[in-house]
Amino acid sequence: MTRSWALFLTARRTGNAVLTLVVLGVIERLLGTASVRFTGNNSFVVPWAVVVPTVAAAAVALASGSATPELEQLTVRNIPRLRLTHASAVVLFATITDYLGTRELGGTISSEAAVRNVLGLAGLALLGATIFGAIWAWILPAVIALISLTAGVTDGTAATWAWPLANNANSGAWVIAVALLVVGLASISARGARAPSPDEDDE
């Protein structure tokens, strides 16, 4: 690894994101079941294939923001290409850890859906990082996950817009997820994460 790459990764706190993704994968692997069900009058099944990718997407997006955005504007290097490579690599790592963590999941929303959700939600998070900044990048995946979980299913079928809850084989959900990933990667590559206000410290 060249020194410039090492600095590029450090400026984005990529190590924290990698650690978070590994911990998520391990937790998911240890749980090993498709759902946690609180019993009672209203039982609620937590679909891990939606929850874990939402957190993973937030970790991916947090790693998209640079600690020195102004300086990066001055560099002679091809920053958009570096950003694209970096974001793609983090998304790929998130996909692998999520797949390994969710391999034991059963049911109709299992590891395939988890991988699809990582791709789509990460794309959404990267798009959010471009618009709102890395610190708020989690909001778009969280909103779509929350709305989907709360009101996305009617008579056992997920609405098109609630694609994170769609079955593994739902091709429409895959198309949406891949499209979001492409848009997210393109936006983060072209513009980078929105820089925080100059008077703000985003630690």
87: enclosing H helix or E strand? helix 79-102
Site string for another protein, 85-124 (x = CB under 8 A): ----------------------------------------
Q: Are 70 and 90 in contact (CB under 8 A)?
A: no
Mapping DSSP to helix (H, G, I), strand (E, B) and coil, where does residue 108 land? coil
List Cβ neighbours of 123 (8 Å cut-off, separation of 6 or more).
Answer: 177, 179, 180, 181, 182, 183, 184, 185
Please list every residue from 157 through 186 that binds another protein, using CB under 8 A. 159
Site membership for another protein, residue 156 (CB under 8 A) = no
Nearer to another protein, 55 or 112 (CB): 55
- Should residue 42 be labelled a site residue for another protein when binding is judged by CB under 8 A? yes
- Give the burial class of 132: count Cβ atoms within 10 A of its Cβ; 0-12 exposed, 13-18 middle, 19 or more buried: middle
Residue 139 near another protein by CB under 8 A? yes
Does the footprint of another protein cover residue 43 (CB under 8 A)? Answer: yes
When asked if residue 15 is in the footprint of another protein (CB under 8 A), the reply is no
Selected from 6, 151, 169, 182, the binder of another protein by CB under 8 A is 151
